[in-house]
Amino acid sequence: MTNLVTVTDVGHVRTIKLNRPEKKNALSLELAWSVIEAVDAAAKVDDVWVVAITGSGDAFSAGLDLSGSAAYSPHSPQTAQLDDVSWVGQFLLSIRKRCDKPVVGGINGVAVGAGLGLAMATDVRLIARSARLMAGYTRIGGSPDAGLTITLPQAMGYEKAMRFMMENRTLTGDEAVEWGMAGEAVDDDKFDARLAEYCQGLCDWSPITLRLLKRGMVKSYETTDLETQLRYEVGNIRMAFGSEDAKEARTAFFEKRKPVFKGK
C-alpha cells in the first residue's frame, strides 16, 4: 500500500483516507488500487469491526484523473491482462462482496464519476452539506461505471437514477439525502467528528451480528429465489445465536445492562 492512502485505527474502526488532496483525490491507477487493497486488508482483521472511507482536503474524489496516470496494477502481468473488471469494478466487489463488515462512506467534499462510484459502493453514507455529487459521464461522452448502474438505482430508484445521470445533475449534501444517496447531511465543521462518532456507535453492536446482517442484505440483491434467500437468513441467524456475543447480548438484556462484545 502506498502513501496515496492513509489508514488509521481508533478502537474497532479503521478509517481509509484518500490522500491526494492537491488533485482533489482524483483517481490515478495507483490510488484506486490502493483503496481496494486497503479494504481487502481491513476485511481480514478481526479487530476491525467497522470501516470508514473518506477523503483528505476538501474533496472525497474528483473521479478518474483525466490528465493521465502511470501504469499500475497489483497483479502479475498475465493476471492483469486477463482482468476484465479492473479497479472500477473492484470498488463494489471489494466493499460489498469481499468485506462483510459495515463500510461507511464519509463524503467530505466533491464526488464525481468513479469517485461517486466509490462513495455509492459503501453501505451507508454521511455527507458534508457543502459536498457536491455528480456523475459527469454525459459531459465527457462516457457511460456509467464503478458500479453506479447498480448502486444508484438501488439507492434512489430507476427514474431518479436515470434523471440524475442523463441531466448531469449536481446535488449538494441536503439534496443528496432527499434523493436517497446518503442517510445524513452534516455541517462541514462538524463532519469529521460526526463521522467518527457514527462509526464508533456501530461498534456498540457485535461484529458477528453486523457481518451476518450485511451478508444477508448483499445476498438479497443477488438472488430472485425467495426460498433460497429465506434459507440463507435462517442459516445466518443460527450462526449468530450460536456465538458468545449473542449469549452476552441476551444476558445483558435480562440484567438490564449494556452488553460487552468480544467478536466471538
DSSP string, 4-58: TEEEEEETTEEEEEE--GGGTT-B-HHHHHHHHHHHHHHHT-TT--EEEEEESTT
Degrees to nearest 5, angle at CA 162 with 135 and 167: 60
Query: Which grid cell is 145?
Result: 461505471
Mean pLDDT confidence for 103-115: 96
Choose among 214, 246, 248, 250: nearest CA to 233: 214
pLDDT, one tens digit per residue, over 81-94 is 888 788 888 999 99
Mean pLDDT confidence for 238-256: 80
Query: Across 162-217, where does the E strand assignment appear?
Result: 170-172, 184-186
CA 146 – CA 89 distance, rounded (Å): 5
Mean pLDDT confidence for 184-208: 97
- The DSSP bridge pattern shows strands 50-55 and 103-107 to be parallel
CA 88 – CA 91 distance, rounded (Å): 6
Query: Which grid cell is 203?
Result: 461498534
CA 117 – CA 151 distance, rounded (Å): 8
pLDDT, one tens digit per residue, over 125-155 is 999 999 999 998 877 777 788 899 999 999 9
What residue type is assigned to position 32 of the chain?
Answer: A
Give the model's pLDDT for residue 124.
Answer: 98
User: Rounded mean pLDDT of the chain?
Assistant: 91
Choose among 212, 188, 35, 199: nearest CA to 104: 199
Return the minimum-mean-pLDDT range out of 116-130, 189-203, 238-252: 238-252
Query: Which grid cell is 226?
Result: 425467495
pLDDT, one tens digit per residue, over 194-205 is 999 999 999 999
Give the model's pLDDT for residue 1.
Answer: 53
pLDDT, one tens digit per residue, over 25-71 is 999 999 999 999 999 999 999 999 999 999 999 999 999 887 777 77
pLDDT at 234 exceeding the cut of 70:
yes
- The DSSP bridge pattern shows strands 132-134 and 110-112 to be parallel
CA 148 – CA 252 distance, rounded (Å): 42
